[in-house]
Structure 1
């Protein structure tokens, strides 16, 4: 393959590391949620802060959700990070993110004071939760990939 052909392939097809990139995406978002949930579950001050935020945002069933939400973040985060039942775990995390954006996103975008509709869209895309949601959708759509427990289990089943 001549140098121009290699350059063309890189420019239009990428570096051919999609499995590694998807794995990095999966592990990063999984570790993020696992750590986030862990701190809300096991750090008293973080748990109190989270509980107060639930109350302030008007989330129903605070007594239940103050434990349920971080438990899902922690366990589903670990599952996504190691690639076990990955689409299901990512779906659980996506539901949490959608609720978070629905409850707090509009207020935060309003604080940014968008100057027009394009800026408003930019502000919504600027929210970390929006990017987390996109990362989770990629995982739900693509699965855990070859570097995961899902791949091991699937090979054993087949």
Structure 2
């Protein structure tokens, strides 16, 4: 078997049952959840991160920054953990989608240099991490936790009882 035949087979064949198609989605869910959970935890616990979060929220002119900074950090920590576990995936992803959207609108978009053409502006937009988090959380809102997740375990148990 030559290399071209092998590459064609890999490109055209459905995923095997040994590697279900839901695994990459689970990896994205877990990685995104761990990111948000660790980021939120650090913003709550580490004084430097807490101060940076407060400064960012204050500069973004979010109302009540002294209340919103720990609230948003707590939401990132809690809902990130739930996302990583795959427990309440859709609601957790929805909260993190909202946080990412606000972060993009209040901070991320201001990092894009002025005077760019449409292609340059779009390139900068898609380079921002908030854009990627928006896309991943949107996918998880639509698809849910899939398997493996605690949502899937719970759904199987409910199906057996019915």
> How high is the TM-score relative to the length of structure 1?
0.89
Q: Name the counterpart of 1:128.
A: 129
Q: Distance in 2 between matches of 1:144 and 1:46?
A: 30
The answer to whether residue 105 in structure 2 is matched with residue 64 in structure 1 is: no
C-alpha displacement at 1:52, in angstroms? 1.2
Unaligned runs of 5+ in 2: none
Quote the RMSD (CA, aligned, Å).
2.0
Q: Is the 8 A contact 2:23 2:147 kept in 1?
A: no
Q: Distance in 2 between matches of 1:6 and 1:142?
A: 31
Which whole-Å deviations, capped at 9, do the CAs of 1:76-100 have from their partners, x for residues lacking one?
Answer: 0000001000010000000000000
Query: Which structure dedicates a bigger proportion of its chain to helix?
Result: 1
The answer to whether residue 121 in structure 2 is matched with residue 110 in structure 1 is: no
C-alpha displacement at 1:14, in angstroms? 6.0
Q: Distance in 1 between matches of 2:58 and 2:129?
A: 22
Q: Distance in 2 between matches of 1:132 and 1:149?
A: 21
For 1:44-63, list aligned pairs within 5 A.
Answer: 44-63=47-66
Unaligned runs of 5+ in 1: none
| Segments of 4+ moved more than 6 angstroms | 3-6
Tell me the SS of whatever aligns to 2:137.
helix
